[in-house]
Amino acid sequence: MSVVALQSSHPSRTSSLALLIAVTGVVYGDIGTSPLYTLREVFAGPYGVPANHDGVLGILSLIFWSLLWVVSLKYVLFMLRADNEGEGGVMALTALARRAAAAYPRLAGLLVLLGLFGTALFYGDSMITPAISVLSAVEGLEVVLPALGHWVLPVTVVLLIGLFLIQRHGTARIGIFFGPVMVSWFCVLGALGVHGILHRPEVLEALHPWWAANFFIAHPGIGIAILGAVVLALTGAEALYADMGHFGRRPIAQAWFGLALPGLLLNYFGQGALLLADPAAARNPFYLLAPEWARLPMIGLATLATIIASQAVISGAFSLSHQAIQLGYVPRMQIQHTSSAEQGQIYIGVVNWALMVGVLLLVLGFGSSGALASAYGVAVTTTMLIDTLLVSAVMLLLWRVPRWLALPVLLGFLLVDSLFFVANVPKILQGGAFPVIAGIGLFTLMTTWKRGKENLFERLGETALSLPAFIDSVRLQPPHRVQGTAVFLAARTDVVPHALLHNLLHNQVLHERVVLLTVVVEDTPRVPEDRRFQVDGYGEGFYRVVLHFGFMEEPDIPDALRLSHLEDLDFSPMRTTYFLSRETLIPIRNIGMAYWREALFVFMQKNANSSMRYFQLPANRVIELGTQVEI
């Protein structure tokens, strides 16, 4: 090989390694910390599984085959191919499914509702993950230093408050440590697992699926319910799909099969070997697997790993909120960019503080990771089931895969997801109602906002004047024209914005160039610049401009208007004035939605971020004109 070839390949290998380290730090934090509590919940929790030979091998076999089927096959090898132009996650998948079912309006509406409910449940999961992860790590103090057991809750609360306080400052600086820490974590998991397996190698018999089937035969009383504990080993699988837009399909798959999966399996089997040798270790098999001298350092490493896992979930909540805002399912909120180099690093204060309150309430209310485990799994399994239903629509309607090939695969995913879901339903009465209630509440907010915007759109359309009729009237009775360009934001492209009518009525003038601007957010992540700008001229100085953005983009109207390149239009900052309509909403009974939902929509409308800030309009060039609307 030539020197030139060596020089060109070295940076590629270096960048690929750095990318794999970054993937490990961001994507696998949640599922990587599951060994802290999964087997403890099975054998020392409410399920009462005996830590004998058959019980240990049966549970390990269930965990092994669940990781292969749900994570490796469904998410890594299948779901990662259901990308929305490179983006993943339940919101991106919902947009893709809506596009797939465009020819079937009722089905498309149902798929959107499923996607919104999955999104709402993600926020519930975003509260439970930091609570159970950090709490389970700090609980190692009870094993190493029992006298400090009463400090577990205070230390956990302080760590979590500190985690949420640093969010507004961004995580770019500390983020470079995430990857190396998590790589070290998985290596330590694997090393501890090998240490345990070498003492009891017969634990490897659990690789045979017969032991999983035998468990159900030998424990008919527990039955499918044990899957409610096994699913704890799968929490975080959705992150593989949600983070696809940041890293791509191949690095996520390589990091899973090359490091995360081997580390997890070795550790689970190592814990199982420990239980075969000492069933009393079920009280905390993770920490007791480590040599006594290593347990205190393990608490520190586990705490760092769980904080990283929590950070990934919080960042995911910010990204999901941004997508939901762009697609019109959530009121506009102030978004702060925490990095000048990375567009995806954002901070949303409302989401951050709401998550912090929820996490602290969970920690203080449940008091232990064992109690929290009873609430964990309901949101995760429901989201997994929703992912399967959405991707089924994409596979059958958009990809048009032959049914004889698609149905067996999809039914297999649906069967396994349904079993995990059914197993977690009893948890609703054991504390699992929290993520369900939170999900229903957020689902109500999102659907109320979407329906309220549609009702407002219809009410404004009832009194709107058609654009051709208005231009004809201007041509017949021309008003006084002033220099400059007036940009009127309008939701519809076929009628005159209320702000334009009010301006003409009160000021008795029109600008020499009048632009009726509509912003359209597509169900694709990004829109190329050559398709961003669309313009039509109507004569008499009137123009219709449509700007297209993707749901991952920031709608910067002044910047987008510079793409016009039309001699007739001048969007220079000092010659352009932006006119916005500000609606004062009045809820009326027997119109549109239920009265309480109308009042809720009015409240959200009042507290939503302004259009001026959302569209990044210059404050000194904006005029707002108000109108009252009954809804």
Which pLDDT value is given to residue 185? Answer: 96
> Distance (Å, rounded) from C-alpha 251 to C-alpha 459?
49
pLDDT category, 282, cuts 50, 70, 90?
very high
pLDDT category, 283, cuts 50, 70, 90?
very high
- Within this chain, do residues 86 and 187 fall inside the same structural domain, yes or no? yes
Residue 156 has pLDDT above 50, yes or no: yes
Count other Cβ atoms within 10 Å, centred on residue 105: 9
Residue range 530-574, pLDDT digits in tens: 889 888 888 888 999 999 999 888 899 999 988 776 777 888 888
Using the structure block, give the residue that is written with the tokens 């003409």.
Answer: 504
In a domain, 458, yes or no: no
Percent of the chain at pLDDT exceeding 70: 95
Count other Cβ atoms within 10 Å, centred on residue 567: 6
Query: If we measure between CA atoms, which residue out of 487, 486, 28, 63 comes closest to residue 257?
Result: 28
- Within this chain, do residues 406 and 555 fall inside the same structural domain, yes or no? no
- Within this chain, do residues 445 and 470 fall inside the same structural domain, yes or no? no
Amino acid letter for position 518:
T
> Distance (Å, rounded) from C-alpha 57 to C-alpha 53?
6
Residues with Cβ within 8 Å of residue 608, at least 6 apart in sequence: 331, 332, 333
Exposed e or buried b per residue across 55-79, where buried means at least 16 C-beta atoms within 10 angstroms of its C-beta: bbbbbbbbbbbbbeebbbbbbbebb
Residue range 513-523, pLDDT digits in tens: 999 999 999 98
Q: How many domains does the chain have?
A: 2
- Within this chain, do residues 393 and 492 fall inside the same structural domain, yes or no? no
- Within this chain, do residues 423 and 489 fall inside the same structural domain, yes or no? no
Residues with Cβ within 8 Å of residue 292, at least 6 apart in sequence: none
- Which uninterrupted H or E stretch holds 576? strand 576-586
In a domain, 32, yes or no: yes
Region for residue 89 given its phi and psi (left: phi exceeds 0; alpha: psi -120 to 50; beta: otherwise): left
Positive or negative, the CA dihedral 170, 326, 161, 263 is: negative
> DSSP character for 610?
P
Query: If we measure between CA atoms, which residue out of 297, 270, 303 comes closest to residue 285?
Result: 270
pLDDT category, 175, cuts 50, 70, 90?
low
Percent of the chain at pLDDT exceeding 90: 51
Taking residues 324-353, report their average pLDDT. Answer: 81
Cα separations in angstroms, 448 against 283, 592, 629: 46, 11, 17
Residue 8 has pLDDT above 60, yes or no: no
- Within this chain, do residues 415 and 482 fall inside the same structural domain, yes or no? no
- For the chain, give the mean pLDDT: 88
pLDDT category, 149, cuts 50, 70, 90?
confident
Residue range 492-507, pLDDT digits in tens: 878 888 889 888 888 8
Which pLDDT value is given to residue 171? Answer: 63
Q: Which of 417, 450, 483 is the last residue of a domain?
A: 450
**CATH code assigned at 417:** 1.20.1740.10
Residue range 206-238, pLDDT digits in tens: 999 999 999 988 887 787 889 999 999 998 888
> DSSP character for 35?
G
Residue 5 has pLDDT above 70, yes or no: no
Q: Which of 125-134, 151-160, 587-596 has the lowest mean pLDDT?
A: 587-596
Cα separations in angstroms, 478 against 465, 471, 508, 588: 17, 10, 10, 38
Which two tokens mark 55?
A: 């019980």
Count other Cβ atoms within 10 Å, centred on residue 176: 13
> Distance (Å, rounded) from C-alpha 231 to C-alpha 375?
12
- Within this chain, do residues 424 and 552 fall inside the same structural domain, yes or no? no
In a domain, 459, yes or no: no
Residues with Cβ within 8 Å of residue 277, at least 6 apart in sequence: 199, 200
pLDDT category, 4, cuts 50, 70, 90?
very low
Region for residue 539 given its phi and psi (left: phi exceeds 0; alpha: psi -120 to 50; beta: otherwise): left
Cβ proximity of 479 and 540 under 8 Å: no
In a domain, 455, yes or no: no
- Within this chain, do residues 34 and 160 fall inside the same structural domain, yes or no? yes
- Within this chain, do residues 133 and 58 fall inside the same structural domain, yes or no? yes
Q: Is 581 helix (H, G, I), strand (E, B) or coil?
A: strand
Which pLDDT value is given to residue 1? Answer: 35
- Within this chain, do residues 603 and 499 fall inside the same structural domain, yes or no? yes
pLDDT category, 340, cuts 50, 70, 90?
low
Backbone angles phi, psi at 75, to 5 degrees: -85, -50
Taking residues 73-89, report their average pLDDT. Answer: 90
Cα separations in angstroms, 128 against 257, 317, 381, 579, 590: 27, 13, 14, 44, 39
> DSSP character for 396?
I
Count other Cβ atoms within 10 Å, centred on residue 249: 18
In a domain, 268, yes or no: yes
Which pLDDT value is given to residue 172? Answer: 58
Which residues face 337 on adjacent strands? 346
Which pLDDT value is given to residue 126? Answer: 84
In a domain, 228, yes or no: yes
- Which uninterrupted H or E stretch holds 585? strand 576-586
Residue range 13-42, pLDDT digits in tens: 666 788 888 889 888 988 999 999 999 999
Q: Is 399 helix (H, G, I), strand (E, B) or coil?
A: coil
> Distance (Å, rounded) from C-alpha 412 to C-alpha 400?
19
> Distance (Å, rounded) from C-alpha 530 to C-alpha 559?
14
Range of the domain at 599: 464-630
Q: Which of 395, 425, 450 is the last residue of a domain?
A: 450
In a domain, 555, yes or no: yes
Q: Which of 450, 472, 507 is the last residue of a domain?
A: 450
pLDDT category, 243, cuts 50, 70, 90?
confident
Burial of residue 526, with CB atoms counted within 10 A of its CB: 0-12 exposed, 13-18 middle, 19 or more buried: middle
Residue range 351-383, pLDDT digits in tens: 999 999 999 999 999 888 888 887 788 888 999
In a domain, 44, yes or no: yes
- Within this chain, do residues 431 and 477 fall inside the same structural domain, yes or no? no
Q: Is 546 helix (H, G, I), strand (E, B) or coil?
A: strand
Query: If we measure between CA atoms, which residue out of 86, 156, 167 comes closest to residue 353?
Result: 167
DSSP state string for 480-523: EEEEEEEEEE-S-SSB--HHHHHHHHHH-EEEEEEEEEEEEE-S
Which pLDDT value is given to residue 12? Answer: 58
Region for residue 248 given its phi and psi (left: phi exceeds 0; alpha: psi -120 to 50; beta: otherwise): left
Count other Cβ atoms within 10 Å, centred on residue 588: 12
- Within this chain, do residues 87 and 181 fall inside the same structural domain, yes or no? yes
